[in-house]
Amino acid sequence: MRLEIGNIFIQDIQFGAETKVENGVLYVNKEELLAEIGGDERVASIDFDIARPGESVRIIPVKDVVEPRVKVEGNGGIFPGFISKVDTVGSGRTHVLKGAAVVTTGKIVGFQEGIIDMTGEGAKYTPFSKTNNLVIIAEPKEGIDQHNHEDAVRMIGFKAATYLGKAGKNVEPNEVKTFETLPLLQQVAQYPELPKVVYVYMIQTQGLLHDTYVYGVDGKKIIPTIMYPTEAFDGAVVSGNCVSACDKNPTYVHMNHPVIEELYERHGKDINFIGCIVTNENVYLADKQRSSDWVAKTLEYLGADAAVVSEEGFGNPDADLVMNCNKITDKGIKTVLLTDEYAGQDGSSQSLADSTPKADAVVTNGNANEVIVLPKLDRVIGHPEAANVIAGANHESLREDGSIEAEIQVITGATSEVGFHYLTAKGY
């Protein structure tokens, strides 16, 4: 499967009379956008704002971040199973408004939501301090339950990103990148001298607002399945979860998956990147056993020499991570794990809920319990009082002067800032 990504560099977002891209500026017609995303009876009001890199702006609580994209050539459309039909995506050409993002906020859904600071200490830890953000403030009607609230805001974000993405359909990209994965036997034959590497793509699927979707299907309902890596770039995997902000992969991260991008960068040089296995992180032991069995079995069937395994979330999913590691290693397949740590504020606590001596190559994204102070900023979009209840904070986190003292886990997308160079850990 071959996909061209046409990046259209966006330097600014402004409201205007017409939604278009011109000279690196994304102009947005607010009335048209509202007509496109409005009408959900679960939502009481929708408003818009803009947050640019370097501005003294805080967005809180952040629900999701989505990148505007549009299919120009090839099968299907962006966000299959939600916005587009469930056609297989990942081929042809997709245009991206690179440097722009849709950020959803409003009254808190669940305590595990996050913060984006566009400047100051917090901006160092989130990739979204570097994007031009169209912020959608969607306030729910009184009395709706949390799941309906989350679903309504999630769909608003997807619709907005789809609407904005269309502005780039007929724009000549500033750069075009090509990603290709051949059918398995052809892929193996392309670089027979290089180790065959598969990415094990663990997604958060614990329920209770901890959900991720694959082609519109709740990840709890799938068994591990093979996926062309390029499918992720067209929105085949999307976030629907409110897991701790630094652990959560917002939809933007799935669409710009840094592990997949880095493995493609290494492909043909020192590895043969032959594909992905998407697997879940469920609550019940039988589900964990079933999924980890299928992951190891599928890797063996593919003839993989090595696997890179990343985890979304922490605590309960640590058991899935360790099960995958043990069973993959038992198949004689080298394994590298990618995770973050919850090692206590002083860094001396047990950092993972489970462990194994077979995990002898682990890449850490840092300690999420590290305490930081976010300075007072001039403007807050959303609800600043959420700073006292989100995961990683406490009832005294929001200070009288508007600054926030909390653990780094309150920052949206904090762990996605890490550079990925795992395979050198075991001499691949």
Does pLDDT of 74 surpass 50?
A: yes
What is residue 247's predicted lDDT score, i.e. its pLDDT? 79
Contact 48, 135 (CB under 8 A): yes
Residue 143 pLDDT grade (very low, low, confident, very high; cuts 50, 70, 90): very high
What is residue 422's predicted lDDT score, i.e. its pLDDT? 43
Mean pLDDT of 136-142: 97
* Of 19 and 413, more confident: 19
Residue 208 pLDDT grade (very low, low, confident, very high; cuts 50, 70, 90): confident
Contact 167, 26 (CB under 8 A): yes
Q: Which residues contact 52 (CB under 8 A, 6 or more apart)?
A: 12, 13, 118, 132, 133
Name the residue with tokens 């299959």.
Answer: 80
What is residue 415's predicted lDDT score, i.e. its pLDDT? 61
What is residue 353's predicted lDDT score, i.e. its pLDDT? 79
Choose among 74, 70, 73, 72: nearest CA to 88. 74
What is residue 276's predicted lDDT score, i.e. its pLDDT? 98
Contact 381, 105 (CB under 8 A): yes
Residue 427 pLDDT grade (very low, low, confident, very high; cuts 50, 70, 90): very low
Does pLDDT of 111 surpass 80?
A: no
What is residue 307's predicted lDDT score, i.e. its pLDDT? 97
Least confident of 57-66, 104-113, 252-261: 104-113
Does pLDDT of 278 surpass 80?
A: yes
Choose among 405, 424, 412: nearest CA to 381. 412
Does pLDDT of 70 surpass 50?
A: yes
* Of 411 and 425, more confident: 411
User: pLDDT over 90 for what percent of the chain?
Assistant: 83
Q: For the segment 165-194, what is each residue's pLDDT rounded down to a tens digit?
A: 999 999 999 999 999 999 999 999 999 999
Name the residue with tokens 């992180």.
Answer: 281
What is residue 425's predicted lDDT score, i.e. its pLDDT? 44
What is residue 413's predicted lDDT score, i.e. its pLDDT? 82
| Token output for 345 | 């504020």
Does pLDDT of 85 surpass 70?
A: yes
Average pLDDT, the chain: 93
What is residue 421's predicted lDDT score, i.e. its pLDDT? 44
What are the catalytic residues?
A: 242
Q: What is the CB neighbour count within 10 angstroms for residue 293?
A: 15
What is residue 398's predicted lDDT score, i.e. its pLDDT? 94
Q: How many helices (H) and strands (E) does the chain have?
A: 7, 25
Angle (CA) 212-5-10 rounded to 5° is 90
Mean pLDDT of 110-124: 91
Does pLDDT of 140 surpass 70?
A: yes
| Token output for 370 | 């590290």
Q: Which range, 74-88, 313-327, 348-362, has the best average confidence (pLDDT)?
A: 74-88
Does pLDDT of 105 surpass 90?
A: yes
What is residue 15's predicted lDDT score, i.e. its pLDDT? 98
Choose among 382, 300, 304: nearest CA to 107. 382
| Token output for 224 | 């591990």
Contact 402, 378 (CB under 8 A): no
As a whole number of angstroms, the distance between CA 44 and CA 152 comes to 11
Map residue 357 onto helix, strand or coil: coil
What is residue 418's predicted lDDT score, i.e. its pLDDT? 42
What is residue 122's predicted lDDT score, i.e. its pLDDT? 95
What is residue 225's predicted lDDT score, i.e. its pLDDT? 97
What are the φ/ψ torsions at residue 98 (nearest 5 degrees)? -75, 125
